[in-house]
Each structure stands twice: as structure tokens, then as C-alpha cells.
Amino acid sequence: MRRLAALRALAGVPGLRVVNLGYPSREMYHAADAPENFYMLGSMGLASSIGIGVALGVRERVVAIDGDGSVLMNLGTFATFARYAPPNLILVVLDNGVHGSTGDQPTATSSGARLDRIAAGAGVRRVRVVRDPRALLRAATGRGPAVVVARIEPGNADVPVVPLDGPTLRDRFRARAASRRRVPRPTAPRGRSR
């Protein structure tokens, strides 16, 4: 599956989306722009963290769309994901084995690093590996919290950069999220206290 096909499938999941920087945001903007999409234009590595922060503050489903190179910069995120486990959050890692936005330099998943096992080892209970858009859509609409590793082919669609500025992207996403806020409450980590 190409990244564009994966993103088109994820655009069909009702809810809010956090989209990783570089070509994932460019392709999503091109294929299925919506105010429910928060496009990252910087801060590589933080798609999952932004997704956790949003998911803890809203009721509806949040799909955070990360990449293998990006999530390898922030592996602690799997531990945080497992610990706070927002039930409305699906973390999708589009794994093409390369840094696709900077010239296809190989990442560690191309030489054997298994993100599904890293997530499971960090304590994530629901981990799926998918290889086609239909299975991806099913996993992303299924029960959360879940980590979904989607194996995709390298390669980018020929689409321009997202033309919107930061505050514009913030405002339209926040307005969409505002109607779905939940009342703040103390959040305790799962499991035993130390």
C-alpha cells in the first residue's frame, strides 16, 4: 500500500486527526483536507504526543498518524501511551522503512527494528500490524487505545506543501475540537503506584 492510500483510508475514520510533518501532511491536505486534521509542519517526533494530549481533552476518536523515522525519535511515547491509555486514541505508525520526506534514507525498521514489539514491550495491550487499506481502516475504527503499525511502500505523491499558517491551522482544529471537549479531571496512571 502507498502512503496516499493509507491516508485516504484514515480520512474515512470519524473523529480528529493529527498528521505527521512532511509528505504525510502534504498528501493528507491534498487528498482529504478537513478542519478535523491538525497538520504538523515542524516538531518531528511529536505526532503521538500531540495525539495523546488531544485525546485526553476530548471525547471523540483521535487518530494520530506518525511515521517510523519520526516515532523512532520519541520511543518513550509508547510507554506514555500505555500508561495513560486514552480509550479514544488510535496511534497509527506508517512504516515504510525510510525517512521519506528527506530522500529515503533507511530507518532502523529497515534493518529489523519492530515497532509493534517495541509498543507491546512498552506495555501497549492492543497492537495491530496491517498491510492494506481495508485492514487499516478496520483497525483504526476498532477499539482503542491501540497502536496500529501499517506497512507501506516508500514513495511520495507529487503534491505541494500545506499553504496554511500555524494560527490558522490551530484555530480551525480547535474550533472543531471545542464542541467535543470533556470536563478536565485528574488523570491517574494505570497500574501499581511506585
Binding site for another protein (CB under 8 A): 18, 38, 40-46, 48-58, 74, 76-77, 79-80, 83-84, 166-167, 169-170, 173-174, 177-178, 181, 184-189, 193-194
Beta carbons within 8 Å of 69's beta carbon, 6+ residues apart: 98, 99, 100, 107
CB nearer to another protein: give 46 or 130.
46
| End-to-end CA gap in the chain | 43
Report which of 118, 115, 65 is spatially closest to residue 89, judged by C-alpha positions. 65
Burial grade of 39 (CB within 10 A; 0-12, 13-18, 19 or more): buried
CA 172 to chain centre: 19
CB nearer to another protein: give 131 or 182.
182
CB nearer to another protein: give 4 or 38.
38
CB nearer to another protein: give 13 or 85.
85
